[in-house]
Structure 1
Amino acid sequence: MKVTFLGTGTSQGVPVIGCDCEVCRSVDYRDKRLRVSVHLQVNGKSIIIDSGPDFRQQVLRERIKTLDALVFTHEHKDHTAGLDDIRAYNFTQNKDMPLFAEQRVLDQLQREFAYIFADFKYPGIPKVELNPISTAPFKVEGVPFIPIRVDHYKLPILGFRVGDFTYITDANKISKEEKQKIRGSKVVVLNALRKEPHISHFSLQEAVNLLEELQPERAYLTHISHLLGQHREVELELPDFIRLAYDGLQLEL
């Protein structure tokens, strides 16, 4: 499996519009964060988890010429807003794009992208195939996915385990039962928004505490805001097995 971090930023991205903090002014490429998304290449398949507002820019940057499916963690716009740009893949691959998400999320997509699902379909609109999922294991183009239920404040959303790789974003609570699904993963990706507590995201220390409890071989933090601090400084504070993810980072499992 090859994992590429397409985006590692929070809903506003980094730098933030109008902000003059040291992170937003940083010239370190690792402090430039598009909205959160990840690309998986596994068993010959190309799969992306979440298509946020920066989707087009991300797939062009990484030269992702084929895409077999999109999987969604939840319905917030920083995870779904780029859906329209799958049109290019519809054209080059000559097939509908499979979308995998909970029914609630698929319903939201149908409201926000109503033109895709209208009775009269304007030429050139995205073509999709809806695949409802739940907390039961499922397969994406033959690739096994294990959903992990996590809480994003009061919104239940999904993380995913694919083989030895677990990806969780936008969480601030994970039950004991769901942690069992994560245990044994070689690589765990977890959100860490900032150092101060937040109502719907893990803080840096909360994320570190959880990862020390789970003890994967390697761990990476994502969904990072400009309030966390500069990449090079924050990494010095972390345990050796935990690193900050950054846009374009690639992992081989």
Structure 2
Amino acid sequence: MKVNFLGTGTSQGVPVIGCECPVCKSLDFRDKRFRTSIHVEAEGVSLVVDTGPDFRMQMLRSGIRRLDAILFTHEHKDHTGGLDDIRPFNFSQQKDMPIFGSKNVLKQIRREYAYVFSPKKYPGVPQIEQIEIDENPFCVNGLAVTPIPVLHYKLPVFGFRFGNFSYITDAKQIPERSMKLLEGTEILVLNALQIDPHISHFTLNEAIEMAKKIGAQQTYFTHISHRLGLHDSISKQIPDGVALAYDGLELTLA
């Protein structure tokens, strides 16, 4: 299985428009962060988790030519705002794009992209196949996926587990039943927004403590704000077994 971090930034991305902080002015490529998303390639299946506003540039930068499905963690705009740009895949693959999401996610997408679902469609709109998911495991073209329910303040969000790899973003709480679903995870991805307390995201210290509880061999942090600090500086402060992800980071898992 291969995992490509397409984006590791928070809802505003990094740099933030108009910001003059050291992170936003940094020349280190690891401090340039698109909105959070990953590409997973396993068992012949190519899928993306979330299509944020940077989806088009993420596809171009990563050179992804085939996409079998999209999984959505939740309905916030920084995770759904690029869905219109699936159109080239519709054209090249000559099929509707399967999108997997909870009832609330699919409802929000139908509202945001009403033109896609209009009885009288404008030529060239995205072609979408909606597939509702709940907390039960499901398959994407034979690839097993286990949803991991977490809470983003009070909003239900899904993380996803693929084999020994688990991906969680936009979490502040992980219920006990979800901790059990994470047992045996070898590679873990968690959100770590910033240093200071936040109502709906893990802080860096909270993410480190959660990583210890889950006990993966290696944990990567994502959904990172410019308020976290410079990639190079923070990387030197965090313990072994955890690391900051960055855009373009690729993992190959057994």
Q: TM-score, normalised by structure 1?
A: 0.99
Regions of 4+ moved over 6 Å: none
* Residue in 2 that maps onto 1:234: 234
In structure 2, what residue type is equivalent to 1:172?
K
Equivalent residues in 2 for 1:180-191 (5 A)? 180-191=180-191
Equivalent residues in 2 for 1:70-85 (5 A)? 70-85=70-85
1:175 deviation in Å?
1.1
In structure 1, what residue type is equivalent to 2:114?
A
* Residue in 2 that maps onto 1:198: 198
In structure 2, what residue type is equivalent to 1:93?
Q
* Residue in 2 that maps onto 1:61: 61
1:39 deviation in Å?
0.1
1:91 deviation in Å?
0.1
* Residue in 1 that maps onto 2:22: 22
Supply the RMSD in Å over aligned alpha carbons: 0.5
Describe the superposition over 1:36-74 as per-residue Cα deviations: whole angstroms up to 9, x where unpaired.
000000001100000000000001000000000000000
Equivalent residues in 2 for 1:80-229 (5 A)? 80-229=80-229
In structure 2, what residue type is equivalent to 1:7?
G
In structure 2, what residue type is equivalent to 1:145?
V
Structure 2 Cα separation of the partners of residues 9 and 82 of structure 1: 15
1:163 deviation in Å?
0.4
Gaps of 5+ in 1: none
1:152 deviation in Å?
0.2
Aligned length: 253
Structure 2 Cα separation of the partners of residues 179 and 218 of structure 1: 16
Gaps of 5+ in 2: none
1:239 deviation in Å?
1.2
The percentage of counterpart residues that share the same residue type is 55
